[in-house]
Structure 1
Amino acid sequence: MSDNLSEVLFSEKHNVRETSTLIINSASKKNTKVAAENLDGHEQAGWYRILKLLQWAWQGLDIIDCYEVLAKISASTNERTDPDLLDTVIGFRKGNWSYEWSKKAMHYQRQANSFVEQDQPEKAKQAYYLASQLYSVASYPHLKGDDSSIQAQTLAFNNYSNSFKYTKDALLKIIEVPFEGKQVRCYLHLPNDDTIHPVAIVSAGVDALQCDLLPLFEKQLKPAGIAMLTVDMPGVGFSNHVKLDQDTSRLHQAILHYMRKVPWVDQARVALMGTRMGGNALTRLGFVEPKLVRAVVSVGAAVASVFDKYENFSKLPIMTLDCLASRMQLQSSDADLLYRHCVPFSLLKQGLLGRKKVKIPLLSIGHAQDIMCNEQDLQLIARTSYGSEAKIIDKSPIFDAYLRSLEYSAQWLGQHLQE
């Protein structure tokens, strides 16, 4: 996308709805908790969004850039929807979350265009990639009806695709899967084109885009010779038109069947890997399609306890509740109302977990005290088959342990995807 068009899209606007007001009750629920670390990032007083600084650094962003943007948001004197929440500046202008992150992203996009003109493909590739990640953060948490977020998403995906035009040692294939009258775009990353590779179908949570997942491929799956097919969760990104319901795996099931038509991967060696609600969908798919799947990795998957007990559900951050409501096409994130809609997400209540064993192995990874997926959930997943296991993170820093677990999961998948 040209710089001129980007400037038109991201000129200041004062009449756009502020993100935290898109779902009813969200702006009135102040984040007054003390700073808490979990797999998602830091939930801090004074912020509507969960700050994922370590994850953003993992995605390749310069932590200094991140602090610079957060400082501009914090220092803004423009009117906020909630004066106690720093990232609620009204209008697409200075101090607004999407505006400040998009401005930083545009800096790298311009750099990338300049590198292309100078015939420096490696630098262009890196700059386009950084722009894509910054635009993704500008869109975060990707709520439906957020005009600024939708614009940032478009630029995130465009810059992501552009980065692969200048990449020599990795291949990106765009897979369009028909689903509910539209095409769902997935990214297939191949280690090389020398052979047919086993593939892992990967989805993150309801607050992430598939273009956030490249480091998982570059650092873990690619060295293990495993291709990666990324899928946006229902209600997010290219799956924006799909409603999240209790059949959380129906989109992924359609994609799994469509993979039979994809010539670059070995259809007999397919694994699944999901985080948070992505872990719910892909763990469920392992039960639904055990003959088509070799192994499943679930990371901090929301599969049981968070939906089985209101006490657990009510502790979720307001941003997470808003994301769930948005994906389910609901207008309110009131915990009492939303909980009744989310109870059916429990794989325990669906009669899948804890009732019978499946032949495929499952690896569950998570933090013992995690609100969304506690140790009991991890052990429950690990008891699903004789080849399953749980890897429990019980030491700080949590994110470092999480990254080490990803390395282990790639090795584990490699073993189960061998001929």
Structure 2
Amino acid sequence: MSKNLSEVLFSQKNNAKETSTLIANSSSKKHQRLEQSMFDGQQSVGWYRLLKLLQWSWQGIDIIDCYEVMAKISASSNKRSDPNLLDTVVGFRSGNWNYEWSKKAMSYQKKANQFMQAGEQQKAQQSFYLASQLYSVASYPHLKGDEYSIQAQTLAVSNYRQSFTQNNSTLLKEIQVPFQGKHVTTFLHLPNDDEIHPVVIVSAGIDSLQCDLLPLFEKYLKPAGIAMLTVDMPGVGFSNHLKLTQDTSHLHQAILHYIDEIPWVDQSRVALMGMRMGGNALNRLGYVEPQRVKAVVSVGAAVASIFDDVKRFNQLPVMTLDCLANRMQLRQSDASYLYQYCVPFSLVKQGLLGRKKVKTPCLSIGHSGDLMCSEQDLKLMGRISYESEAKIIDKAPIFDSYLITLEYSAQWLAKHLQE
């Protein structure tokens, strides 16, 4: 990676559109939903973005760095596209979300290069990794057409790759999967390349990049000897040229079939794991390809209630509505307009969830008060097959319980992948 890559990317014109103005949204911008979500982050008055502090900490980012960056954004006196929203400073300059997070990322990238030159590989690896995570936050929520976001994504990926050149204990393979006349880049993480491994195909939500998912592998899947193949959802990251449609599993189905071409994994032992819309796609794939899938884990999956109940849908945060519209290649995200396009995402309305049973076991994880994945959704997923189950978190602190459940998920996957 060129040391000057960040300078080249961010030295361009300073008139890119501010993130929150990319998608037209009228009445929806006026509402606020002030509650903590385990999966989406906290929607706070004065912020356009959902603040994923617990998630970012889980990814390895120092919470002190988070508060430092957010303080600089808050204190900025530069022009904002919306005076009532702190993270809407226009232009790549002091106070702009992308600028402040990228600046922090650059400091870790600089340290990483210094460690690498000094031959301190472990420290270099950790610094490159932290730089990648900070650049990912700088890019967040990764809207297509957001110039500075795309530049930060480039740096997130390049630092992520560089971190693996300094680390001999974890192997990263980039798998180019042919799809619709092009190729989609996926990341295959291997415990080692000495043997063939069972593999879990993993996708997060429509506001996440696949480089955000390494702790899932390092802490839970790798110790169980399971490989992890990550893929960005349509409209995000390496899949940003694709449109999100009601056939949410189309890309993942192509990847599932391409597993046969990957020499390091066992195509007869493939499981799926998805969060939010990733859970929608991979649950759907479990229905479509039950003969190829050994097990499915869904985390807070958006599969039914949020698309079946317009009142629930209308409560979605503005940023989430913008992400949905952006991935579907729509120009506006007003809730009343967007809802009609999202109804077909319901796996209930597609005649799958609650109506069709498969042999593939499903573990559904969520909490009882979640807007996007109701308790009823969790129970429906827990009845997909005889061996399926639902883990409903109802005790605080929710995020801590969620981490414990991830460990249970790895054990559950290992059990089903060994059968």
TM-score scaled by structure 1?
0.98
Tell me which residue corresponds to 2:75.
75
Tell me which residue corresponds to 2:222.
222
Q: Once the two structures are aligned, what percentage of the paired residues are identical?
A: 72
Amino acid paired to 2:328 = M
User: Is the 8 Å Cα contact of residues 42 and 50 (structure 2) preserved in structure 1?
Assistant: yes
Tell me which residue corresponds to 2:151.
151
1:390 maps onto 2:385 in alignment = no
User: Is the 8 Å Cα contact of residues 39 and 402 (structure 1) preserved in structure 2?
Assistant: no
Tell me which residue corresponds to 1:280.
280
Tell me which residue corresponds to 2:21.
21
Matches within 5 A, 1:102-141: 102-141=102-141
Tell me which residue corresponds to 2:65.
65
Matches within 5 A, 1:8-47: 8-11=8-11, 13-25=13-25, 29-30=29-30, 32-47=32-47
Tell me which residue corresponds to 1:376.
376
Partners of 1:125 and 1:379 in 2: how far apart? 42
User: Is the 8 Å Cα contact of residues 13 and 93 (structure 1) preserved in structure 2?
Assistant: no
Tell me which residue corresponds to 1:329.
329
Q: Deviations over 1:124-148 (max 9, x none)?
A: 1000000000000000000010000
Partners of 2:103 and 2:13 in 1: how far apart? 14
Query: What secondary structure does 2:223 align onto?
Result: coil
In structure 2, stretches of 5+ residues that fail to align are none
Amino acid paired to 2:93 = R
Query: Using a 3 Å threshold, how does the CA distance of structure 1 residues 250 and 196 change in structure 2: closer, same or farther?
Result: same
Partners of 2:141 and 2:27 in 1: how far apart? 14
User: Is the 8 Å Cα contact of residues 27 and 81 (structure 1) preserved in structure 2?
Assistant: no
User: Is the 8 Å Cα contact of residues 203 and 210 (structure 1) preserved in structure 2?
Assistant: yes
Tell me which residue corresponds to 1:403.
403
User: Is the 8 Å Cα contact of residues 27 and 334 (structure 2) preserved in structure 1?
Assistant: no
Tell me which residue corresponds to 1:311.
311
Amino acid paired to 1:394 = D
User: Is the 8 Å Cα contact of residues 35 and 45 (structure 1) preserved in structure 2?
Assistant: no
Partners of 2:372 and 2:142 in 1: how far apart? 20
Tell me which residue corresponds to 1:92.
92
Query: What secondary structure does 2:46 align onto?
Result: coil
Deviation for aligned residue 1:43: 1.2
Q: Deviations over 1:136-185 (max 9, x none)?
A: 00000000100000000000001000000011111111100011121100
User: Is the 8 Å Cα contact of residues 58 and 215 (structure 2) preserved in structure 1?
Assistant: yes
Tell me which residue corresponds to 1:208.
208
User: Is the 8 Å Cα contact of residues 37 and 370 (structure 2) preserved in structure 1?
Assistant: no
Partners of 1:322 and 1:131 in 2: how far apart? 26
Q: Deviations over 1:211-256 (max 9, x none)?
A: 0000000000001111000000000000011100000000000000
Q: Deviations over 1:170-205 (max 9, x none)?
A: 111110001112110000000112211100000000
Q: Deviations over 1:66-104 (max 9, x none)?
A: 110000000000011111110000111110000000000
User: Is the 8 Å Cα contact of residues 199 and 227 (structure 1) preserved in structure 2?
Assistant: yes
Amino acid paired to 2:20 = S
Partners of 1:403 and 1:37 in 2: how far apart? 14
Aligned length: 419
Tell me which residue corresponds to 2:193.
193
User: Is the 8 Å Cα contact of residues 312 and 371 (structure 2) preserved in structure 1?
Assistant: yes
Partners of 2:162 and 2:4 in 1: how far apart? 17
Query: Using a 3 Å threshold, how does the CA distance of structure 1 residues 384 and 418 change in structure 2: closer, same or farther?
Result: same
Query: Using a 3 Å threshold, how does the CA distance of structure 1 residues 66 and 30 change in structure 2: closer, same or farther?
Result: farther
1:412 maps onto 2:404 in alignment = no
In structure 1, stretches of 5+ residues that fail to align are none
Q: CA RMSD for the aligned pairs? A: 1.2
Deviation for aligned residue 1:2: 2.5
Partners of 1:11 and 1:37 in 2: how far apart? 36
Query: Using a 3 Å threshold, how does the CA distance of structure 1 residues 26 and 264 change in structure 2: closer, same or farther?
Result: farther
Partners of 2:12 and 2:181 in 1: how far apart? 35
Partners of 2:140 and 2:295 in 1: how far apart? 30
Partners of 1:26 and 1:115 in 2: how far apart? 49
Deviation for aligned residue 1:11: 3.5
User: Is the 8 Å Cα contact of residues 39 and 367 (structure 1) preserved in structure 2?
Assistant: no
Tell me which residue corresponds to 1:346.
346
Deviation for aligned residue 1:30: 4.2
Deviation for aligned residue 1:36: 2.9
Query: Using a 3 Å threshold, how does the CA distance of structure 1 residues 147 and 347 change in structure 2: closer, same or farther?
Result: same
Deviation for aligned residue 1:28: 7.3
User: Is the 8 Å Cα contact of residues 30 and 85 (structure 1) preserved in structure 2?
Assistant: no
User: Is the 8 Å Cα contact of residues 190 and 226 (structure 1) preserved in structure 2?
Assistant: yes
Partners of 1:13 and 1:82 in 2: how far apart? 21
TM-score scaled by structure 2?
0.98
Deviation for aligned residue 1:411: 0.5
User: Is the 8 Å Cα contact of residues 209 and 236 (structure 2) preserved in structure 1?
Assistant: yes
Partners of 1:399 and 1:13 in 2: how far apart? 40
Query: What secondary structure does 2:7 align onto?
Result: helix
Q: Deviations over 1:360-409 (max 9, x none)?
A: 10000001110000100000001110000000011122111111111110
Query: What secondary structure does 1:357 align onto?
Result: coil
Deviation for aligned residue 1:14: 3.3
Deviation for aligned residue 1:8: 2.8
User: Is the 8 Å Cα contact of residues 109 and 159 (structure 1) preserved in structure 2?
Assistant: yes
Matches within 5 A, 1:237-256: 237-256=237-256
Query: What secondary structure does 2:199 align onto?
Result: strand
